[in-house]
Chains A and B, each alone.
Chain A
């Protein structure tokens, strides 16, 4: 029976745990290691292994390095749940923090700070402080990571942690830079003042920092620059005047005059742009994107174009990278078409692209469409409409609609093309075309009686509700242009009323009402029939609408003054729908961020401020050279890692040119060595 099975299962896991406990208590390392491996396997699968805590924690001081590591893994997973027992391990770590070996010190700090036990907060704080002045940059890097961990465990430590951050920001090691900026961003992103003195150093170190650190530093510096420098854009305002529509022209002109005479870029602003540019050639897509967003938000508009080529390169990468990059290009291409026009063909859709990539490329192609390239694009779009991927075909029809409204030269061509699609065999294509044609006709209803007639005929065959509803709405709206057909359509739909979708029923009611107002002689009875059907419909929406319409169009003693205006209400000039990109205005989120991708503010998103009208004092970034000197000389030799390994650049601007950089030495000696060999025999080894 069931109970015994359950008991058995329970027993077996008990047995297993007993086995493991025995192995952990064995005197042989191999048994212990085996047990730990099995436990880690359990953790990896998400099984609960917390019961073994006492047995595992005893091995924290094991001499065997792998056992020790696996015990660490276990501790980080379960210490939070077993706080009292976890305390047993603390002294081991405290001892390890004093170890002469830097890697042991670092790993002790890592584990200690990962054990989420509030009672050890003071111990952690002390350890972080000590580690932040450790001689080894690797330990200091780990200290920077520990800052965030302690902060999330106990936010009350904020002030003390900021002191540590301030100290580590001064660190000259490339190893530390990324990690401490990360800590800065999480703990005190508003303390911009801490960056001033380190700004130039960070700019100069940037090329040599590891990739992940580069991303974090670039994002932080983008935010910083927007608070410290004045806008380089106003000067170029003539080219991009559309961005300033909210300011009156005269005001703008006056401003321009003033700015044109006074604007020169702050050398620090220029330093940042110059030092990030080579990173566009990084193999890491996140770094390239970070630089691209920096140029978008900080560079003069004439310079931002240099990022396009690199972004297009990223389109060769995997689909996830493509997805994010294309989203960002979509946002950019709305505002500054010129940036991506030369790469138009790179956005052509491939039949093997996933639908989400296809749709994004289509979006960008639509944004880039102009008088010059529209005919090529429309030809390309025609291929897309035939795609077997119907969702994409439908999106293409929408795109054609957008091109038609944006570029007046091709409106008629597009409209004709769409009308041709009405005879397409695929219903989804036809339905989508109807919807788009409806929108287009609304923007210019001049003389399109023929198209409306054509669509009325389609009504007999089309079954997709949105399309049927769109046709009915069109006929109702322009019933005076098709006086013969409209009443007949009403007659037909009155017959099929009960079998229609709710969406269509509403439009039949609308059509009836409009005809009743314009041509009551022919349609009075039909309309009343439809209204009666609507009165007893199952959907309360439709019953509601029926009641509303009847009161408005059929005057009786109860209906108030409104019915006099019924015609004005129903047949008012309606504004045409705007066909615009879903990426419009998305750049109020910093590009490259999660918030931009989701188009909604993510938790912890840091707002990019507007440029200040007047630049704050630039001298805050000046570094006291003399003081730095003694600081550097005062440090022991070990403290000078081989910085500036391959960036011989820009040192003249930084006082650090004076620090001996052994990387440079190595290179210059290298040149004198012989050993040049020609590569003549090209060997194939593949």
Chain B
């Protein structure tokens, strides 16, 4: 399936290559570079490229292109999903998936790639198993290794791979047994000029950090499971229990993992917890315009809205912006024309405001469309959908675990101009 992999940085250097079958020359990447040149930006490089003898399937992650070489028919998503899994694993091992991290740990990277794929077919992709095979680097270990000559490669053999619970390693022991669940929800909304919602939905995930000894068998139930309209599961969850009882029943992997992701049905009306007042105008025949935006909270059940960041893609004709923020700080990148305003926390008593002058290129026509505003925010301890955890039970082990859950709501709003109205 996957023949070879090339890692390429933004300046077009191939800084790592790995072949699982016979060697494919680096020159195959020229087809990729050609496609990259044609694309307006990195985001628009087509993920699938056909060349005379091979097919190239690539992903772009953390400023690195992962370009895989394929020779025969394969579901493209299979390869894409696998490449992302590789990037996730690097992230997991090195704390970041960057060119430097990969170059610094090239031996571990190679060992990982060797274990993850055999003859182009995925072999071990679960982090629990990989960590038993190849230990992640730590400063202490690398010092010890260099003195004693001992290795990163596990000398005990992984048991998970041999069992039917391939995601969990055996013999896990903790003195403090803990289980944490983070419910993170994201509202995704499009709002028109008059402030009415064109489209809104809530996407949520439950990320878990489970540090429990032995083979715990957990079941997590919700007060209102019907809210979850469409759910996708980590492979550890038993489908049948969910289908019959709406209970999440599973033997968890050890450590951090994403338990479920879900969508809340659009029938449940979504109340958007912030509002925006805005006035952006460009005067005809002058090379300037006015910009005035205020953000305020609404209906958030007494919780503070924090981590507010507004990003605006300004029209190309904008040269620079001269603004004053009553709160937080703003930056304007004259190359990408992106205005970022880091607002921070919203206090209802004093609403954050950003206003000032927009300078346009002289002679440039007045931008015909006002930009859309993207607003991101966070609300702690509140799941915007109203999802509530009922209880967590543990079977199979006798200790009492420490359990915790947290709720965070993230928002992403994209108001935009509609038809003849000038702005949202």
Contacts and interface: CB of A to CB of B under 8 A. Distances in A.
Nearest to B17: A46
A539 interface: no
Most chain B beta carbons < 10 A, residue from A43, A67, A310 = A43
A278 B268 CA distance: 24
Interface in A647-686: 647-649, 663, 666-667, 670-671, 673, 675-679, 681-686
Most chain A beta carbons < 10 A, residue from B17, B48, B235, B365 = B235
A208 B239 CA distance: 11
Contact of A286 (B23, B71, B81, B166): B81
A289 B157 contact: no
A387 B198 CA distance: 18
B278 to A, nearest CB: 15
B368 A351 contact: no
Contact of B418 (A77, A383, A648): A383
A667 B137 CA distance: 37
Nearest to A147: B119
Most chain B beta carbons < 10 A, residue from A80, A647, A681, A684 = A684
A603 interface: yes
Contacts of B234: 283
Given A69-B153, A598-B50, A686-B408, A44 B392 contact: no
Most chain A beta carbons < 10 A, residue from B78, B111, B123, B417 = B78
Given A40-B107, A600-B50, A282 B232 contact: yes
Interface in A541-599: 592-595, 597-598
Given A33-B151, A66-B152, A286-B78, A383 B165 contact: no
A446 interface: no
B86 interface: no
Contacts of A470: none
B55 A602 contact: yes
B72 A604 contact: yes
A240 interface: no
Contact of A683 (B16, B110, B390, B404): B404
B41 to A, nearest CB: 8
Contacts of A426: 368
Contacts of B203: 316
A282 B235 contact: yes
Nearest to A30: B149
Contacts of B107: 37, 40-41, 70
A274 to B, nearest CB: 12
Nearest to B388: A682
A72 to B, nearest CB: 8
Contact of A281 (B123, B166, B231, B403): B231
Most chain B beta carbons < 10 A, residue from A64, A286, A671, A678 = A286
B164 to A, nearest CB: 4
A110 B21 CA distance: 12
A67 B151 CA distance: 9
Contact of B372 (A284, A323, A351, A673): A351
A679 B398 contact: no
Contacts of A290: 75
A386 B371 CA distance: 10
A540 interface: no
Contacts of A346: 199, 201
B125 interface: yes
Interface stretch (A136-144, A230-238, A258-266): A136-144
A219 interface: yes
B315 interface: yes
A65 B243 CA distance: 45
B43 A354 contact: yes
A424 B114 CA distance: 57
Q: Give the dominant DSSP class at A's interface.
A: helix
A678 B390 CA distance: 8
Contacts of A113: 119
Given A40-B107, A281-B232, A387 B419 contact: no
Given A324-B77, A345-B198, A351-B313, A646 B121 contact: no
Given A41-B107, A667-B217, A282 B233 contact: yes
Contacts of A380: 418
Nearest to A671: B395
Given A46-B14, A182-B121, A283-B235, A30 B148 contact: yes
Contacts of A325: 77
Contacts of B58: 320
Most chain B beta carbons < 10 A, residue from A77, A321, A391, A648 = A321
A313 B17 CA distance: 33
What range describes how many residues of A lie at the interface? 35 or more
A348 interface: yes
B347 interface: no
Interface in B58-112: 58-61, 70-78, 80-82, 84, 106-107, 109-111
A673 B395 contact: yes
Contacts of B395: 670-671, 673, 675
A45 interface: yes
A249 to B, nearest CB: 38
B316 A215 contact: no
Contact of B406 (A73, A142, A350, A682): A682
A510 interface: no
Contact of B73 (A33, A70, A114, A602): A602
Nearest to A212: B122
A374 B193 CA distance: 21
Given A286-B78, A379-B419, A646-B240, A670 B396 contact: yes
Contacts of B238: 646
Most chain A beta carbons < 10 A, residue from B18, B73, B391, B393 = B73
A380 B419 CA distance: 7
A101 interface: yes
Given A30-B148, A685-B180, A593 B75 contact: yes
B40 interface: yes
A355 interface: yes
A679 B47 contact: no
Nearest to A381: B419
A355 B44 CA distance: 6
A643 B408 CA distance: 38
A355 B45 CA distance: 10
Contacts of A45: 15-17
A72 B115 CA distance: 12
Contacts of B229: 309
A594 B48 contact: yes
Contacts of B118: 110, 142, 145
B406 to A, nearest CB: 4
A45 B16 CA distance: 5
A388 B165 contact: no
Contacts of B155: 65
B11 interface: no
Nearest to B118: A145
B147 to A, nearest CB: 8
Contacts of B414: 350-352
Contacts of B240: 278, 646-649
Contacts of A102: 162
Given A602-B50, A676-B394, 4 more contacts: A45-B17, A285-B77, A309-B229, A324-B47
26 contacts: A29-B149, A69-B153, A102-B162, A146-B119, A152-B21, A182-B121, A278-B240, A282-B233, A286-B78, A318-B84, A321-B77, A352-B414, A354-B43, A354-B44, A355-B40, A382-B420, A383-B416, A424-B368, A593-B75, A602-B73, A643-B164, A648-B240, A676-B393, A679-B390, A684-B381, A685-B406
Interface of A: 28-31, 33, 37, 40-41, 43-46, 64-67, 69-70, 72-73, 77, 80, 101-103, 110, 113-114, 116, 136-138, 142, 145-146, 148-149, 152, 174-175, 179, 182, 207-208, 210-212, 215, 219, 278, 281-286, 288-290, 309-310, 313, 316, 318-321, 323-325, 345-346, 348, 350-352, 354-356, 379-380, 382-383, 386-388, 391, 424-426, 592-595, 597-598, 600, 602-606, 641-643, 645-649, 663, 666-667, 670-671, 673, 675-679, 681-686
